Amino acid sequence: MIEISASDQYLTASPDSLLLDIYDALPAGLYPPFPPVELPGGLGGLVSRGGFAQTFFFGAEVLGLTFVAPSGRRVVAGGRTVKNVQGYDLTRPFVGSFGALGYAETVTLRLRPGLASAHHSRPGTLEDAIGSRARFLWQDGETLHAYHFGHVRDVESVMAEFGGTVHEGTLDYRSMFPGGMGVGQGGPLRDRRFGWQSGSAVPEMPAFFARVAASI
Amino acid sequence: MIEISASDQYLTASPDSLLLDIYDALPAGLYPPFPPVELPGGLGGLVSRGGFAQTFFFGAEVLGLTFVAPSGRRVVAGGRTVKNVQGYDLTRPFVGSFGALGYAETVTLRLRPGLASAHHSRPGTLEDAIGSRARFLWQDGETLHAYHFGHVRDVESVMAEFGGTVHEGTLDYRSMFPGGMGVGQGGPLRDRRFGWQSGSAVPEMPAFFARVAASI
């Protein structure tokens, strides 16, 4: 299930939605908070891991979700418009909690407008691109990727600074992660937050968060 | 305590900081996620109530905070840059939880750039301004206020649409709320989220959130 509101600039989708299927479903000029690559677990996996490759705060792009807590209870978190934001919002703890708060049933993401987009790649590492204004940056082995959308001139300028060449086609990284997409520096992909490797390794969970997870 | 990083566009301040003192401390061209009005409880009260008058999602503007939970435990939530966002983030539940998760010790807010700002007022109600692009809109009795910052032309255009006249000086609403700033439709102020009245009334708390609050 992928439902798009172009006028209000959000989408609501089931967690099994593939990331590239979401790209295909979007009308021209609206973009989601992830690059056009396929990753393990589709949208649900992406949200559980706190996004991929973004250089902005991903948590703010998840407007709301419903999830089933470890206790089996269903939680409705967040909303779609400022009027729905009443507080008591568990959206952000769920995002990037690597499953500790349960599993999502539906996810609502903010969409952002852009008149153009571009995907470049070049040899390099994330450290080479510390000042880049690209919305998404990731390193695949010894290749650095940048994806950006926005005004035409903005996209041109970001890509001119980044260098490299136009990357044709989309990427499917799922086969890199036969054991699931876990964190760790030894793996094939990196973004500004984590190294990503096959397996189920997650960041260390603070004690207070474990108590929250057990309480819901 | 008010510490400002102009280069990284954030401020960290103690919860007792007055909102107008924060405005006074900011360098030209950087703006906080609240309008230049004084409200009960300073910055800590503002964050606890989930902001005031914003037409955007306030929770995303709070980059991180430290708070003391009802149990007495100290919780560090969120960060300042995308690299610090490791997940397991209790920032958003704290924002707008009306004290249920305890009290803040420090608050870090995103600052946004603007070349100009303007504050207009006119007779009217929030319902008259549904389509307004002003960043802040609030109704004080039968007077509607709009505050906006951004590019010069953007500010001019938003204020031309809003109408009214330039509001001179700053507003101090603290004396309207001798019993604290609570929610309720009978009070003197309204924004898109709530009516605000003197007292300690808060929005109804979902049962799952009460369990979370008791767990931390």
Contact (Cβ atoms closer than 8 angstroms) between residue A108 and residue A122: no
B115 reaches A (C-beta below 8 A):
no
| Residue numbers of the domain that contains B28 | 2-112
Q: Is residue A210 part of a domain?
A: no
Interval A101-114: pLDDT, tens: 999 999 999 999 99
Among residues A37, A6, A9, which one has the least CA distance to residue A109?
A9
* DSSP secondary structure letter of residue A52: S
Domain stop point among B112, B139, B172: B112
Q: A90 and B63: CB-CB below 8 Å?
A: no
pLDDT confidence of residue B81: 60
Instruction: Please indicate, yes or no, whether residues B193 and B120 belong to a single structural domain of this protein.
Output: yes
Contact (Cβ atoms closer than 8 angstroms) between residue B75 and residue B64: no
**Predicted TM-score of the model (pTM):** 0.83
pLDDT confidence of residue B51: 96
Contact (Cβ atoms closer than 8 angstroms) between residue A170 and residue A176: no
B57 reaches A (C-beta below 8 A):
yes
How far away is chain B from the Cα of A168, in angstroms, using its nearest Cα?
28
d(CA B138, CA A162) in angstroms, rounded, equals 43
Q: Is residue B11 part of a domain?
A: yes
Per-residue pLDDT of chain B (216 residues; tens, 9 = 90+): 999 999 889 999 999 999 999 999 999 999 999 999 999 999 999 999 999 999 988 988 998 999 999 999 998 887 766 556 667 888 889 999 999 999 999 999 999 999 999 999 999 999 999 889 999 999 999 999 999 999 999 999 999 999 999 999 889 999 999 999 999 988 999 999 999 999 999 998 888 899 999 998
Residues 14-53 of A with CB under 8 A from B: 49-50
Domain stop point among B81, B112, B143: B112
Contact (Cβ atoms closer than 8 angstroms) between residue A25 and residue A2: yes
- The widest CA-to-CA distance across chain A, in whole angstroms, is 50
- For chain A, first and last CA: distance in Å? 26
B206 reaches A (C-beta below 8 A):
yes
Domain stop point among B54, B82, B112: B112
Instruction: Please indicate, yes or no, whether residues B74 and B141 belong to a single structural domain of this protein.
Output: no
Q: Which of B59, B97, B208 sits opposite A85 (nearest CB)?
A: B59
Instruction: Please indicate, yes or no, whether residues B79 and B162 belong to a single structural domain of this protein.
Output: no
Structure tokens at B82: 């995308």
Interval A36-78: pLDDT, tens: 999 999 999 999 999 999 998 898 899 899 999 999 999 888 7
B97 reaches A (C-beta below 8 A):
yes
Contact (Cβ atoms closer than 8 angstroms) between residue A59 and residue B85: yes
Instruction: Please indicate, yes or no, whether residues A105 and A122 belong to a single structural domain of this protein.
Output: no
Query: Coil, helix or strand for B200?
Result: coil
d(CA A154, CA B86) in angstroms, rounded, equals 29
Instruction: Please indicate, yes or no, whether residues B168 and B75 belong to a single structural domain of this protein.
Output: no
Contact (Cβ atoms closer than 8 angstroms) between residue A64 and residue A86: no
Instruction: Please indicate, yes or no, whether residues A107 and A125 belong to a single structural domain of this protein.
Output: no
The CATH number of the domain holding residue A175 is: 3.30.70.2560
Count of domains for chain B: 2
The CATH number of the domain holding residue A11 is: 3.30.465.10
Instruction: Please indicate, yes or no, whether residues B176 and B128 belong to a single structural domain of this protein.
Output: yes
Residue of A nearest to B57 (CA): A82
Q: H helices within B97-205, ranges in order?
A: 152-162
Q: Is residue A41 part of a domain?
A: yes
Q: Is residue B83 part of a domain?
A: yes
**Is the ipTM value over 0.90, yes or no?**
no
Instruction: Please indicate, yes or no, whether residues A63 and A140 belong to a single structural domain of this protein.
Output: no
Q: A91 and B92: CB-CB below 8 Å?
A: yes
Q: Which residues of chain A are within 8 Å of residue B205 when distances are taken between CB atoms?
A: 88
How far away is chain B from the Cα of A167, in angstroms, using its nearest Cα?
25
Torsion of CA B15, B112, A55, A201, to 10 degrees: 10
Instruction: Please indicate, yes or no, whether residues B139 and B186 belong to a single structural domain of this protein.
Output: yes
Q: Is residue A90 part of a domain?
A: yes
Q: Which residues of chain B are within 8 Å of residue A95 when distances are taken between CB atoms?
A: 87, 89
